[in-house]
Structure 1
Amino acid sequence: MSNSYVGRFAPSPSGPLHFGSLIAAVGSYLQAKANHGTWLVRIEDLDPPREVAGAAANILTTLEAFGLHWDREIMYQSQRTTAYQDAIAFLSQQNLTYFCDCTRKQIQAKGAFYQGQCKHKQLTAGNAALRLTTTTPVDYFIDELHGKIDINKALAAEDFIIHRKDGLFAYNLAVVVDDIEQGISQVVRGADLIEPTGRQLYLFALFGQPAPSYLHLPLVSNADGSKLSKQNHAPALDTSQVKKQLIAAFKFLALPISAELQDLSIPQLLQWGTEHWSVKNLPRQKSIVLNL
């Protein structure tokens, strides 16, 4: 990779950053800097009901405390409505969209995967979601860490939602439109987002844009195997213990930890991390129990 590398960290402001968030932030940052590239931050404030007041500002303050400074202006999805509307208009002009009023319960009752029940009903917006017709399903992709990732073929073939019935834009649409706008060359994120990758690759193809490569980092798990997350009340990062937590993140990401790291400043730690970063040393598991 060259200095054309552009990576990003894209948290949602549904609460403060936790250790799992730190792994995604540090992993994406070190991968970008090790490739002499640009590291961006995008606030994915696309779902107001899930947002916590002040969380976006808190996330940025926390990143700065950890020395993770972004290289360009922050992008906020809440300010991108026109871009998403234009993308939907483009897809609709290709006769690839239709409205659907099926509930999750109805879909589950018919076998868990949506099977195009509304495709020929000619519904109008009203209380309906907008689905995208999947003409060429993407049922696998190559991940830089995990190699070939197979996606459930029934899932890959689904016509999926790009605009929700509550009026909100769907994640898969927004993330692709934003990755194109920001020129993202590689997406480094947690393994919980492996499954949507096929749909995102399909959208890149429809828009006629080159897709980024993907690198999915292991998730941080609790002892019971559940993902460390805001929903599971994961404790917020402690900005009074930055060095300790940063070194713990390096350890999780399989960097060669040594006692000398304790004597380094935060900028020096990140420089050390950049110099010692190696994707080939990362653990191949999709999930790892937190053991600090």
Structure 2
Amino acid sequence: MRPDYRTRFAPSPTGLLHLGHAFSALTAWDRAQAVGGSFLLRMEDIDRPRCRPEFEQAIYEDLQWLGLSWPRPFRQSDRMGSYRAALGRLGMSGLIYPCRCTRADIKAALSAPQEGVPVGPDAVIYPGTCRGRGMEEAGPDDALRLDMRRAVASLGNAGFQENGPLYPGWHRLDPDQLVAELGDVVLARRDIGTSYHVAVVVDDAAQRVTEVVRGVDLFSATPIHRLLQVLLELPHPNYWHHDLIRDEHGKRLAKRDDARAIRAYRAEGATPEDIRRMVGL
């Protein structure tokens, strides 16, 4: 038994939960239950224009119907001060810079003949147009980017432990690979004041998460999160990245696919046990 084990399910209330969400939540729940640990819930609602209270309420209802329970949930919209503090610390260390580039600017820079079009977890890798601008130049419409070349100097032998079945083992972070394949990622979007990358590592530390259970689509972002944990001196959890639930054409499910929403199956008379069978549990 491991009563110190803590994991979480962290949906965004921008639509109804579907079978893929059920698989992720149930996987996390089962892993916590197996060792007598804790299952936590976090609402990742920093993208306020897209979040809806009716979707948040539906998440609670669907998860309870599946048989899950949790302590009082975290809501990211209540924690903006914590994210600003983390960004301030990175700024004081000279590791972030303001970026005024639009998507069109980045596309134009990458269309130059001497440039390739490398792609990372957050779409195309930023070409560095604004790198070198100081934080004193930051304006209200600027995004904030991590200066990856400076950041990796603090890495040492950092890595992360993957416990999932797809990429098990210890993954050491390679500084050159981070620079080449991830680039200067955005740490604060101009419209919401932070980013998923910052919020997730700050919240995992605050909730004392010991193992992050999430889809394999986020595996490529894990080096960013581990790097931020090093830079912010945060504890680092282990990870369990699971496969994705896909439709009959092999396409991953999306929130707009209402036909596979948990709520739709409930309305048709499905039971929680039926949902478990549908997702292979």
**TM-score relative to the length of structure 2:** 0.81
130, 134, 152: which is aligned to 1:118?
130
Q: Is the 8 A contact 1:221 1:227 kept in 2?
A: yes
Per-residue CA distance 1:104-163 (angstroms, 9 max, x = gap): 333344233113221223432232101122221889754212225699645555121111
SS at match of 1:215: strand
Question: Does residue 1:184 correspond to 2:209, yes or no?
Answer: yes
Q: Which amino acid aligns with 2:3?
A: N
Task: Give SS of 1:187's match.
Answer: strand
**1:168 is aligned to 2:193:** yes
User: Partners in 2 of 1:208 and 1:140 — Cα distance?
Assistant: 14
Residue 281 of structure 1: aligned partner: none
Report the Cα distance in structure 2 between the residues aligned to 1:209 and 1:18, rounded to whole angstroms. Answer: 32
Other-structure match for 2:113: none
Secondary structure of the residue aligned to 1:200 is helix
Return the letter of the residue paired with 1:85: R
Cα distance 1:79–1:89, how it changes in 2: closer, same or farther (>3 A)?
same
User: How far off is 1:176 after superposition?
Assistant: 0.6
CA distance in structure 2 between the partners assigned to 1:155 and 1:15 by the alignment: 34
Change (3 A) 1:155 1:125: farther
Aligned residue in 2 for 1:15: 15
The separation in 2 between residues aligned to 1:98 and 1:191, in whole angstroms, is 30
User: Where does residue 98 of structure 2 map in the other structure?
Assistant: 99
Q: What is the RMSD computed on CA atoms of the aligned residues?
A: 2.4
Which residue of the partner structure matches residue 34 of structure 1?
Answer: 34
Structure 1: runs of 5+ lacking an equivalent:
254-292
Correspondence list, 1:256-275, <5 A:
none
Give 2:242's match in structure 1, choosing from 199, 207, 217: 217
* Mapping 1:112-151, distance limit 5 Å: 112-122=124-134, 123-134=137-148, 135-136=151-152, 141-145=160-164, 146-147=167-168
The one-letter code sitting in structure 2 at the alignment partner of 1:96 is L
Query: SS state of the match for residue 227, structure 1?
Result: coil
Unmatched segments (≥5 aa) in structure 2? 111-116, 118-123
Deviation at 1:9, TM superposition (A): 0.4
Query: 1:19–1:236: 8 Å Cα contact kept in structure 2?
Result: yes
Deviates more, 1:214-223 or 1:102-111: 102-111
Deviation at 1:50, TM superposition (A): 2.0
* CA deviation vs aligned residue, 1:17-36 (integer Å, no higher than 9, x gap): 11010000000100111121
Q: Tell me, yes or no, if the aligned pair for 2:125 and 2:184 is still in contact at 8 Å.
A: no
Matches within 5 A, 1:40-59: 40-59=40-59
Is the Cα contact below 8 Å between 1:156 and 1:198 reproduced in 2? no
Distance 2:27 2:182 in 1: 31
Task: Give 2:15's aligned amino acid.
Answer: G
Matched, 1:252 2:280: yes
Contact 1:204 1:211 in 2 (8 A): yes
Range moving further from structure 2, 155-164 or 80-89: 155-164
Amino acid corresponding to residue 73 of structure 1 in structure 2 = R
CA distance in 1, matches of 2:191, 2:61: 31
TM-superposed deviation, 1:224? 2.2
Q: Deviations over 1:189-219 (max 9, x none)?
A: 1111112111110111111122111111110
Instruction: Give the Cα–Cα distance (whole angstroms) in 1 for the partners of residues 241 and 250 of structure 2.
Output: 18
Residues 103/140 of structure 1: CA separation in 2 closer, same or farther (3 Å cut): farther
1:25 partner SS: helix
Deviations 1:62-91 (A, max 9, x none): 111111111x21111111111111111111
SS in 2 for 1:136: helix
Q: Distance in 2 between matches of 1:143 and 1:57?
A: 32
AA matched with 1:125? G
Contact 2:99 2:142 in 1 (8 A): yes
SS of 2:275 mapped into structure 1: helix
Q: How does 1:150-161 map to 2 (within 5 A)?
A: 153-154=178-179, 156-161=181-186
CA distance in 1, matches of 2:259, 2:189: 28
